[in-house]
Amino acid sequence: MELSHQTKFIHSTATNLPFILSSSTGKVDPAARKTIRSHARRGTKQKRNEIQVKQSNQTSRFEMENMHKRPFQIIFDNNIIRTEQIPYRVGGDLSFLQFADDIKLEMLLNTAKVSATAMKVIHPLVAAIAHGADQGSRLALVQGDDAGLHLTAALMDDFIHRVLRLGAGSSPMAILHFQKGIRLLRYRLMGDDEKAKVTDSTIAAVTKLASAAHFSGDFTASKQHVEGIRRMVDLRGGLKSLKHSHLCVEIMRCDLGIALLNDSNPVFFQYPSDHLNFYPVELLVSPDEDQYSMGHAQLFENLHQDLLTVWKVLKRFCMLVNLASQTQQLMKIEIIHQTMTSTMYRLLAFRFPSNSLDESVRLALLAFTHHVFIQWLDIRLPNKPFTTKYQSHVDGLDLSPPAMIWIYMIGALSITDPARGEWANRGLHKYSIRCGVKKWKDVQFILNSFLWIPLLDDVPGERVFNVLCLH
C-alpha cells in the first residue's frame, strides 16, 4: 500500500497545540514549515517575557531613593488580602513548613509577603546596601515557637494596618493573636522548665514585645521588657551566647532606641563588667591623624579626644557607605552593626558639662546615629525628652553657619516632629541666609562636608529644604 505524502494537522483540545502527523520522509510542505516557525517564535518570545518579568521582580539594593519618593501605600503589595483563603501559589515557601501552633494561612502569607517591605522600612540602610542579612534564620526562629509565632503574626498584621495602610489602632485579628502569644509566653515564663525561659525564641518573643511597646509610646513597658531580656541574657552568659546573631543586634537596637529617645541609660553595657565593642577594623583611625584635614577647624579644635574619635569613625563609615553606593557594591552587615554599637553606646556613656560644646556635639552625633541605624523609614517616634534637650542645646550654640545648618538638618530628619518643624525651619532659614545658599545643591555640598549619607538623606533633606523655601 502506497504511503500518503500529505501532512495532517490535529489540534489538541487540552493544550490547544497542533500535532503534526506525516507519513513522508521528504521535506515538509511550506504550510507546515510556516506553522512550525510560528510556534517556535512564540515559545522564544514567551521565554523572553518570563526572564524580563523575573528581572523586574528582583529588588534592587539601591531602590531606597525611589522608596523615599513614594508613599507607603504605593510600596505596599496590594496583593496582600486579609481574607484570602487560597495560597497565591502551590509549593511556596510555606507549603511544607511545620509550625508550632495553628495559625490561619492568610496570616502566614501576609507575613511572608510583607517581610521584604518591612525590612526596607525598619532597616532601611541594611536593606539597601548590606550583604549578609539572613531572612531564613528569622523565620526558623519563629517557626518552632508558638508564642513567637502568634506575636509575629500580630505585629506584622499591625505593621500592615498602621504603617503601610496608615490606619489607626490594631485589627481584631491582630489583637487575638497578640493576646494568645502573651498568654503562651506568660505560661512559659511561670513554668518549671528553666531552660525554656532563656532560649533564643523566648528572648526573641520578649524583644518583639519591647519593640511594640516602644513603637506605641509606652516607655515604662518597653523598659521593663528590656530589663527582663537583660536578666535572661545574663543567665545565658551574655549576648555572645545567643545562637542567632541577628537577635543580638535586635536586642541592642531596641535598647539603644529606648534609651536615646527617652533620655535614659541603656540596659546593656552600663556596668563595669560590660565591655564595649571595638570599632570596626575598617574604620580605625591613626591617633596622630590631623583633625583639621576634615575641614571645619572651629568645630574640632577644642573637641574632647574621645568624641573626636567617634566623629572620625562615623566620617569614615559615611565615606564607605557612599563609595559602596556609587560603585554599586554591597558592604558587610557586620560593619554596620559594629559601627552602631561601638559609637552609640559610647555616646550614651559620655558625660560632659551641660553647657559645653562637647555635650552639644554629642547630642548631634546621637541624633545622626539614631537616624542612620535605628530610625524607621520616614517614621519618627514620640521622643519629647531628647527633642527638648537637643533643641535647647542647639539654640545656644555659636558655631560656623555651615556647622549649624548640618546640626539643624540632622534634628529635622531624626527627632523633630514634621507637624511641629518650625524650630528646625527657623534655624535652617537663619543660617542659610548667612551662608548665602539658595538652592538645594548648595546645601547638599555643605552637608556632604560633615556626616551625610546621600542614599538615606538626600531625598528627605531636599524635602525639608523645599518646605523651607515655600515658607
Query: CB-side exposure of 200: number of CA atoms within 13 Å?
Result: 20
Taking every pair of Cα atoms in the chain, the longest distance, rounded to a whole number of angstroms, is 111
How high is the pLDDT of residue 246?
83
DSSP 382-413: --HHHHHHHHHHHHT----HHHHHHHHHHHHH
* Alpha-carbon distance values, 202 to 141, 156, 170 (Å): 10, 18, 24
Give the C-alpha separation, 43 to 332, whole Å. Answer: 41
Nearest CA-CA partner of 310 in 271, 280, 273: 280
pLDDT at res. 132 = 66
Q: What is the pLDDT of residue 62?
A: 46
User: Which pLDDT value is given to residue 90?
Assistant: 38
- Number of neighbours of residue 14 by Cβ within 10 angstroms: 5
Q: Decide: 185 and 206 in contact? Cβ < 8 Å.
A: yes
- In one-letter notation, the amino acid at residue 119 is M
Cβ pair 252, 341 in contact under 8 A: yes
pLDDT the model gives residue 97 = 43
Size of the chain in residues: 471
Q: Strands (DSSP E) along 195-354, which ranges? A: 331-332
- The alpha-carbon radius of gyration of the chain (Å, integer) is 28
d(C-alpha 371, C-alpha 169), whole Å: 25
Q: Mean pLDDT for each 10-residue chunk of the chain (471 residues)?
A: 47 54 67 72 59 47 48 36 37 43 58 72 86 60 72 80 69 82 87 82 90 83 92 89 84 92 86 71 67 60 88 92 89 91 93 89 93 83 78 86 92 74 84 89 92 92 83 59
Every domain of the chain and the residues it spans: 8-57, 64-261, 281-470
- For cell 560590660, the residue is 274
Sign of the torsion angle spanned by Cα atoms 434, 435, 436, 437: negative
pTM for the predicted model, two decimal places: 0.75
Structural element, H or E, at residue 19: strand 18-21
Q: What pLDDT does residue 386 have?
A: 86
